[in-house]
Homo-oligomer: A and B are copies of this chain.
Amino acid sequence: MLKKKYTIADIATMAGVSKGTVDRVIHKRGKVSKKAHEKITKILKEIDYQPNLVARNLKKNKTYRLLVLIPDPEKDPYWAPCLEGINTASQEFQAFGVMIETFLFDPSSTRSFNARSKEVLKNKPDGVVFVPLFYKESLTFTEYCKKNSITLATFNSSINSNNARSFIGQDLHKSGRVAGGLLHMLLPGKKHLAVVHMDEIYQNAIHMQEKEKGFRDYFDGLEQKHQIITHKIPEKDIRKIRKSVRGFLETYPEVSGVFVTTSKAYLLAEALPETDTRIRLVGYDLIEKNLECLDSGHIDFLIHQNPRQQAYLGVSYLSEYFAFDKKIPDNKLLPIDIITAENYTHYLE
């Protein structure tokens, strides 16, 4: 179990050569005779040589510059936990020469994204972790990074680009299914449900669709058929939202459960008529206003996308890649956490 730790010097002795030659074999630097090469390779395999990462790291003594490009939590509180996750990772890896800096952009402005991403590139980083909110702009960005061999990881949103090494996030389709399962449990027998997309901007469009698909998928798999209405509320003003909700309820008085595909479920809860208690609500994200609604019973379940962990993992993966040559996982799908009024505290940390 506890196998001996071999050093390059050990191997050199075993092979009857000098450590320089062993080093050349390990790093494929060539200039090694066939005979020596074979002998050393064989020994390396036999003892399953693992280089001492500590010594390697010390010798290289390089500092890596890792930049993070995410939406500004001031503009959307959903992103606030990301900063904590980044900080945690930053503290862990600065001892290994990974220097981390964060750049914030306005999630409602492609212009802001472009400006900040340019700044990031001007810094000539070794790696970038970012949230590709805007599809086209993100593609341009990843392409540039590929060309300048800047290692990339994305989280929260995915883009179909093979220029980015790693994606960390959630299976949105499945999370829609989870929401379906929850509403189904809350409302056995009830057959009228609704999917509500609440978002003043439309960059979330693909996400919301994916969630809706999963939701419908769940009910399609059931024997009993359900009526599922889709309703969009692309407003920001609370009065307009109220109006939209009122209209929605009047048109479909039989709807008893609603799945809100964004973090704005609290807006729906607030906009419901005081007297109305027949609506069961499932939404996303542990932002403060949603938690208040959990406590007051206006929202039944929230799905946690764990932005903190997403950011933490994104930064960690790249840091471990730089510091220890660790492989970066292609895809990391986080669990779909189900949150109620009783268990949310532990997810806030």
Contact = CB atoms under 8 A, between A and B. Distances in A.
B174 A342 contact: yes
B54 A96 contact: yes
Nearest to A5: B63
A182 B341 CA distance: 10
A346 B54 CA distance: 33
Interface in A236-257: none
A324 B96 CA distance: 11
Interface stretch (A71-79, A157-165, A331-339): A331-339
Given A174-B343, A346-B335, A55 B58 contact: yes
Contact of A99 (B2, B53, B180): B2
A124 to B, nearest CB: 13
A324 B95 contact: yes
Contacts of A336: 342-343, 346
A101 interface: yes
B338 A340 contact: yes
A57 interface: yes
B333 A346 contact: yes
A174 B342 CA distance: 7
A349 to B, nearest CB: 9
A144 interface: no
Contacts of A338: 337-340, 343
A331 to B, nearest CB: 12
A181 interface: yes
B101 A185 contact: no
Contact of A337 (B50, B55, B335): B335
Interface in A31-65: 50, 52-55, 57-58, 63
Contacts of A346: 171, 174, 333-336
Contact of A218 (B97, B218, B342): B342
24 contacts: A2-B99, A5-B63, A50-B95, A53-B95, A54-B57, A54-B96, A54-B97, A55-B58, A174-B342, A178-B342, A181-B340, A181-B341, A185-B186, A185-B340, A186-B186, A218-B342, A335-B337, A335-B343, A335-B346, A336-B342, A336-B346, A337-B343, A338-B340, A338-B343
